[in-house]
Chain A
Amino acid sequence: MSSRRSRQQSGSSRISDDQIIELVSKLRQLVPEIRDRRSDKVSASKVLQETCNYIRNLHREVDDLSERLSQLLATIDADSAEASIIRSLINQ
């Protein structure tokens, strides 16, 4: 992590280097792309970029799962046995 950069980024309105370090260490447990990167060379803006990409992927996943669930529920014939099972699951 460049100490040079920390000297220029003064003021509390900037994301501090410490916060970037914390973000990286926590994210490394979660995000595969950051995990494979060498720890000493990661740049703050790259970390932010990977984070944004990851969040976008997660959003896409939620959207996709909602779609699949909607499709599944649509295929259930309202009077079928499957419908009653799912209905009882949901109605617990």
Chain B
Amino acid sequence: MRNQSSVKQEFLRKWITGLRRYSCEKKNMSFFERKKAIKLSADLAMASTRDKTTRWSQALIANNTDNVFIASSSSSSPKKSSSSRSRNMTTLMRRSRPTRVKSAKKEMSSARCIAKRLMEKRTRKLKNLLPGGESMDEGCLVAETLDYIQSLRDQIEVMRCLVTASQLIINPS
């Protein structure tokens, strides 16, 4: 596990580099353009601290590279990852066997069915939340989720610091 504070420092450095480049290229940005630039450069900066060691970070960078720092393209749509349904997902669906009711009571087996379907549904939701999650197999999903959550928390902490610092500079009272 990397030193958390070094990750945050790297994130801050990269984020500010990104912000600087973006603000040089586009002078008079609208509020939403600026917000988008801030958020995008933050997301990319955080993903790059992973140094391609996680799938979510690679997917995030791949999905957003066209958007970055190109003054002319103001709202190019982000490239979606090419894999539509992962092979594992279809296999999962096909492999969901009909309930093998040998000696189990009917109520029990339908409860198990419901539980299984609920798990599948929630796993799908989690995959949709992770960048590149749709093409992840369940084996690495947990590890990727934990790493993604940790990085989001670091990112938020640093962003909050910058917001607070800027507020203090602007309104010293």
The interface size bin for chain B is 35 or more
Highest count of chain B CB atoms <10 Å: which of A26, A52, A63: A52
Q: Known contacts being A13-B91, A44-B119, A48-B119, is A61 close to B163, with CB within 8 Å?
A: no
Inter-subunit contact B138/A90 (CB<8 Å): no
Inter-subunit contact A62/B126 (CB<8 Å): no
Inter-subunit contact B116/A69 (CB<8 Å): no
* A58 interface residue per 8 A CB criterion: yes
Inter-subunit contact A65/B153 (CB<8 Å): no
Task: A45-B122, A62-B42, A65-B160 are known; give 10 further A-B pairs, CB within 8 A.
Answer: A13-B91, A15-B138, A22-B142, A23-B145, A55-B130, A55-B152, A59-B152, A62-B39, A65-B163, A70-B34
Q: Chain A's nearest CB lies how many Å from the CB of B170? A: 5
Inter-subunit contact A52/B119 (CB<8 Å): no
A66 is contacted by which of B35, B92, B95, B167 (Cβ under 8 Å)? Answer: B35
* B60 interface residue per 8 A CB criterion: no
Q: Chain A's nearest CB lies how many Å from the CB of B27? A: 10
Inter-subunit contact B126/A58 (CB<8 Å): no
* A71 interface residue per 8 A CB criterion: yes
